[in-house]
Amino acid sequence: MKGVNLLLELTEGARADAEARRAELSYEALEERARAARQPIDVAAALAHDPGHTHVIAEIKRSSPSKGALAEITDPAALASEYAAGGASCISVLTESRRFGGSLDDLRAVRARVDVPLLRKDFISDEYQLLEARDAGADMVLLIVAVLQPERLRELHAFALDLGLSALVEVHDPSEIEHALAADARILGVNTRDLKTFEMHPERFAQLRSQIPAGVVAVAESGVSQLADVERYRADGADAVLIGEALVRDGEPQKRVREFGAVR
């Protein structure tokens, strides 16, 4: 249960950090500011199946619990510009600080530089975090089924939609897909990393893809290190692929995004 416990630890830590920020800026003040912010982009439409190419969600990620430090990334906005120039359909910005080295300031900096849709990737369990995402310029947020009770998932998903945000709902098994669809998820991300062992199981995407209905965007998460990995996910029915480590460690991120996106 090491991985599951870590996921809970990350979720609790992210919520505690949000509570600390809430002590500085009230829920009411943040909501007023968030609802006055720019209107988010409909990311489900932006990631809809395209027979001509694979949508790439390019991630800004400094480190991870399983791999440790990945890249320094002193200027996340500059990296985001490279991703956008390479044709990324969406850019994921890690905002969790304790184990991933990210921040909401990263998200704000990226938003100021690029116009493509942005995902706030964090461990969200509270409405305040959704308000923060909208206020900082996100178009989409991550909701992880494994750490949210079904009713809580529905509440957070509904509130995200009320704010104009899209939600990438992450699943790992058939029952989680059922919960995600019951919450009216329009974008499902299948994480092929085992939560207990951190081992990769890329075949999991193909096993679960058939349970994702037509009209729901299917995103393959984790396990991409080379072009063949994207080709495999695409052949298995992925509309989009989320890629982090392979891009932040590459010296030519713009070129790599373009290559990955050219997969049909």
> What's the pTM?
0.96
Given this model, what pLDDT does residue 211 score?
Answer: 97
Question: Could you give the dihedral angle defined by the CA atoms of residues 203, 206, 207 and 209, in that order, rounded to the nearest 10 degrees?
Answer: 150
Catalytic-role residue among 121, 125, 166, 176: 121
Percent pLDDT > 70 in the chain is: 98
Catalytic residue list contains 170: yes
CB contact set of 10 (below 8 Å; sequence gap of 6+): 65, 96, 98, 99, 123
45-54, 145-154, 159-168, 197-206: least confident range: 197-206
Given this model, what pLDDT does residue 137 score?
Answer: 98
Residue 95, helix vs strand vs coil: coil
Condensed to tens digits (0 to 9), the pLDDT of residues 188-241 reads 999 998 877 778 899 999 999 999 999 999 999 998 999 999 999 999 999 999
170 exposed, middle or buried (CB, 10 Å; 0-12, 13-18, 19+)? buried
Catalytic-role residue among 59, 127, 132, 245: 59
Catalytic residue list contains 196: no
Condensed to tens digits (0 to 9), the pLDDT of residues 3-32 reads 578 899 999 999 999 999 999 999 999 999
Residue 26 CA, distance from chain mean position = 26
Closest listed residue to residue 54, CA positions, set 213, 255, 235:
235
CB contact set of 5 (below 8 Å; sequence gap of 6+): none
Catalytic residue list contains 222: yes
Separation CA 202–CA 224 (nearest Å): 9
30-34, 154-158, 250-254, 257-261: least confident range: 250-254
CATH class of segment(s) 2-261: alpha beta
Spell out the domain ranges in the chain. Answer: 2-261
Provide the b/e sequence for 28-43 (b: ≥16 CB within 10 Å): eebbeebeebeebbbb
Catalytic-role residue among 127, 170, 176, 245: 170
Separation CA 169–CA 149 (nearest Å): 13
